[in-house]
Amino acid sequence: MSEIAAPTPRAPFKPGLIARAIALFSGLPGMIIKFVLLAILNALAVWAAYVLIDRGKWISLAILVAATLLIDYIYLAPRSWTLPAKFIVPGTVFLLAFQIVPIIYTIEIAFTNYSTGHIISRADAIQAIKVNSLQPPANGRQFEMAPARDADGKLVLILHDDSSGAVYAGTKKGLQPLAKPTVTISPDTGQPTAAKGYTLIKGAELFSLDAQLRALEIPTKGDSAIQAQGVSQAVELQPTLRYDSAKNAFVRISDGTVFRDNGRGSFVSVNGKEELEPGWKTYIGFHNFGKLANDPLYRSPFVKVFVWTFVFAGLVVGLSFAVGLFLAITLDKKGLRFQSFYRSVLVIPWAMPAFLALLIWAGLLNDDFGVVNKILHLHIPWLFDANWARVSVVLVSVWLGVPYFFLVSLGALQSIPAELTEAARVDGGAGWAIFRRVTLPLVLVAVGPLLVASFAFNFNNFNNIYFLTQGGPYTGTSSIAGSTDILISYTYKLAIATGKGQDYALASAVSIVIFFIVATISGAMFYRTKAIRSVQ
Amino acid sequence: MHHSLKRMWALIGVIAAIAAVAASSAGASHKAGPTIVIWTDTDRAAAVTKVANDWAASNGATIQVVTKNFGDIRDNLGTVSAADAPDVITAAHDWTGQLAANGLVEPIFLSSATKASFPSYTLNAFSYGTAVKKLYGVPVAVENIGLVVNTKLAKVPTTFSQLETEALQVKKAKHQTFGIAVQQGSGGDAYHMYPFFSGLGGYVFGTNKAGNLDPSDIGVANPTLLKNAHLIDKWNKEGLISSKVDSSAAQNAFLKGQAAFWITGPWNADTLKKSGLTFKVIQMPAIAKPSVPFLGVQGFMVTKYATVHGVDSAAKDLVTSFMATPAAQTQLAAANGRPPANVKAKSSDPVLQQFSAASKGGVPMPNIPQMSSVWSDLGQAWVRSTKGSGAMAASKSFKAAARSIAAKIG
């Protein structure tokens, strides 16, 4: 720094439209907008705090209060360090909410048994098993019921036996027969409508007794008891399972079979053949990853799907880029007529909602009724043959991907100084050589990172596969994965269509595996494009 | 600096105070009496609101109806927080196993008089249990597919061979690639193919001694079906059915008079009436066994959250006593164009009556959660064996499907 450059005269500062728009907000209007937005944010936070206090979510409440105070401080306190924070905080909040939190949840779920039959907590599951184990005993009675109060105001159930026509007053001590004439029975519903010496409970008061009604058990024979079901029915029920809290196990009363906690969220019989439903959600360590690695049902399609995912993503990105670049070069020619028309037409696939386009393509490619075969006078089984289906998903994905690469290539081409290609031509370079030695490397510098991103996108391009082929056709040898399934659609099928239906935990484990694959590839490729750029 | 900091805290205080007032006034309106939260789909929201409020008015209760996509009702019930959870849901019977296995719904009991007013299959459809079978829902509407016959193009068949002959004649006359319009597409459709499947002797799950569906007894490639599987190969060869036909191709062919037979359900009743065609809906004639359709039953369930909210008895009263009545059933079933489940509440619509009649002897879609391992494989068994040239022999295709299903259920 020995030489001090002469100060170059600056061009007079001419603010652009956006700058002027921003400037508009810097005075009083900006202040007002800031306060209004902060007020709304605080109002929302206070409202959320009410909800969280109501539900006893104290950790979330602490985070909410801390975050709100921090944001208020950043935007109101005139400290120098808050200035950059003003710009960083909104983005960070959204990053946390929509990226980091779901990732944490996915990782958490991957180590649980969260799936059909393992949704609720252990305590709830034990309660549900107890309720489910209740069964009407042999010759169990069913009653029309009317809750009432006796002279002392105690809760009594007036019961009318469906089959025998007998009437009773039921308390937790037991059934007490009532004389038939003292109870009025509705001829339509069989419901007791009045009883001498008792006041029937009606309307809102009836429903306020919910917990008491459910708790009231009228003992009959043995361990059977009459229980209210709703407010007008009562049923005699007998437990078939007994919970032994000391041993932490259920015992079947009829044959003494013991169901033990298997440590993976279920009570399982000692011989391992019977399982009580429901189970509960619990942590099971690396079990899901182990299943993926060891269970042939999941492992054998995984390898096949893994390979096809690479082929698919690679082909789609490569072909889309090649076609997009070709079209961009063709249409970049100066003096071409209807240039803007061609360009607009080429962008149509991109402007259309992709899933709509995919559904239309699925119809177009139908081999008996589809337009494609009709026009070509061919009979290609586009969606019904494994290899043709692979061709179809690649072709349609390329069709959807070309406009993007056409646009970015066009941009990249126009940023290449004309002098470079002219110089190459003067040096005697032929068209192809100029393209290969000058144009392509320069385009690649600009488009390289986009190719990597596009690869990562197509690696997880669920829509294209699912709307076109649903992963099919199935060849009959693989049970879960079809011939066009990529990892993400295969994961989806694991999550909804194996075993007892929904295995979110296993699907989360696969997602984590996919994440590491994509992260590794993208990291390596970004590193490479960076290397290319630094060389140039 | 010190001054401005003070100003800032004052400002925050004011903002928070305003917000607190706004929030507290919003949350202040608490009502006496139970509030029942019902989740239902868009089609039925109006009818459910009306029926539930009829009940609530006489009981001092409040109803809050939340509209969801039908399938989301099942999925969201597993993830919703207790505070936002419903007490009552509109449900399809084939969710019963999954929801009960998850411990999310409560068993209910109907009076014997109420039970008697429902066909036993509708109650069976909502019953589930690996050891003790329990009822989890009150049926409201039933649906099933039938064979729609264009009576201008063909006679109403009484035997399967008559159907086959007529369908192939129309196919030839109209230069079509298939005779019976039944939807499959590359994804397969085991539901619409079920009359063929049951007619050939196929079944999905057998029942064990306790009368429960047994996921280890898979009848997708049972001996009777395999014995009759050569018929599928014959139909494929002569083009009676084709897996290339998807839902729009099937509908177009029938509505444009290119096919005389269409297998579809009451959701297309309005389309049929508006088409101007003369048609009749029947059950497909028996093949080797009666060609019965899958039956779908929709109804209401009480969730485990009703207990948490302290409205369990109210919710059970609404569902078991009120929604089961013929008057409520007629309104609820009409809301999305299905015949009601209660036998005392017959639909007056002639087309729906014909669909109802086509349900005779039908099999409720298995309601155990293992059924989700069946749909795609059973659908693909048909896709592979009826895709025209290059099709797999049916016996081989169904055996492969059975193997795959068994592996997935594990």
For A:455-474, CB contacts with B below 8 A are 469-470, 472-474
Q: How far away is chain A from the Cα of B354, in angstroms, using its nearest Cα?
A: 31
Cβ-defined contact of B313 to A231 (cutoff 8 Å): yes
- Residue A525 pLDDT: 81
How high does pLDDT run on average in chain A?
Answer: 85
Q: How far away is chain B from the Cα of A91, in angstroms, using its nearest Cα?
A: 23
State the average pLDDT over residues B154-172.
95
Residue B248: list chain A partners with CB under 8 A.
Answer: 363
In this structure, of A244-248, A321-325, B85-89, the range with the lowest mean pLDDT score is A244-248
Q: What is the pTM of this model?
A: 0.85
Which residue did the predictor score with more confidence, A355 or B73? B73
Find the angle CA(A96)-CA(A102)-CA(A104) to the nearest 5 degrees: 90
Cβ-defined contact of B111 to A144 (cutoff 8 Å): yes
Q: How confident is the model at residue B27 (pLDDT cuts 50, 70, 90)?
A: very low
Q: How far away is chain B from the Cα of A184, in angstroms, using its nearest Cα?
A: 18
> Above 90 in pLDDT, residue A329?
no
Which residue did the predictor score with more confidence, B390 or B230? B230
Q: How far away is chain A from the Cα of B40, in angstroms, using its nearest Cα?
A: 21
Cβ-defined contact of B22 to A211 (cutoff 8 Å): no
Residue A77: list chain B partners with CB under 8 A.
Answer: 4-5, 8
Cβ-defined contact of B408 to A497 (cutoff 8 Å): yes
Residue B311: list chain A partners with CB under 8 A.
Answer: 207, 210
Q: How confident is the model at residue B6 (pLDDT cuts 50, 70, 90)?
A: low
For A:228-247, CB contacts with B below 8 A are 228-233, 235, 240
- Residue A167 pLDDT: 92
The answer, for A372 touching chain B at a CB cutoff of 8 Å, is no
> Above 60 in pLDDT, residue B19?
no
Predicted confidence (pLDDT) per residue in A509-534, tens digit: 988 988 898 889 888 887 877 776 66
State the average pLDDT over residues B226-234.
96
For A:165-194, CB contacts with B below 8 A are 189-190
In this structure, of A378-382, B165-169, B187-191, the range with the lowest mean pLDDT score is A378-382
Cβ-defined contact of B61 to A204 (cutoff 8 Å): yes
The answer, for A140 touching chain B at a CB cutoff of 8 Å, is no
Predicted confidence (pLDDT) per residue in B175-224, tens digit: 999 999 999 988 899 999 999 999 999 999 999 887 889 999 999 999 99
Cβ-defined contact of A366 to B244 (cutoff 8 Å): yes
Cβ-defined contact of B316 to A229 (cutoff 8 Å): yes
Peptide bond into A278 cis (omega under 30): yes
CA distance A361 to A467: 9
- Residue A419 pLDDT: 83
Cβ-defined contact of B18 to A497 (cutoff 8 Å): no
How high does pLDDT run on average in chain B?
Answer: 89
State the average pLDDT over residues B46-51.
94
Q: How confident is the model at residue B258 (pLDDT cuts 50, 70, 90)?
A: very high
> Above 50 in pLDDT, residue B387?
yes
Inter-residue contact B341 to B180 (CB < 8 Å): no
Inter-residue contact B279 to B254 (CB < 8 Å): no
Q: How far away is chain A from the Cα of B8, in angstroms, using its nearest Cα?
A: 6
Q: How confident is the model at residue B26 (pLDDT cuts 50, 70, 90)?
A: very low
Tell me the ipTM for this assembly.
Answer: 0.82
- Residue B76 pLDDT: 93
Under 8 Å CB pairs connecting chains A and B tally to 264
State the average pLDDT over residues A432-451.
85
- Residue B173 pLDDT: 94
First CA to last CA across chain B, in angstroms? 71
Q: How confident is the model at residue A2 (pLDDT cuts 50, 70, 90)?
A: very low
Cβ-defined contact of A473 to B380 (cutoff 8 Å): yes
- Residue B124 pLDDT: 92
Predicted confidence (pLDDT) per residue in A447-497, tens digit: 888 998 899 899 989 999 988 888 878 876 656 788 899 988 988 887 777
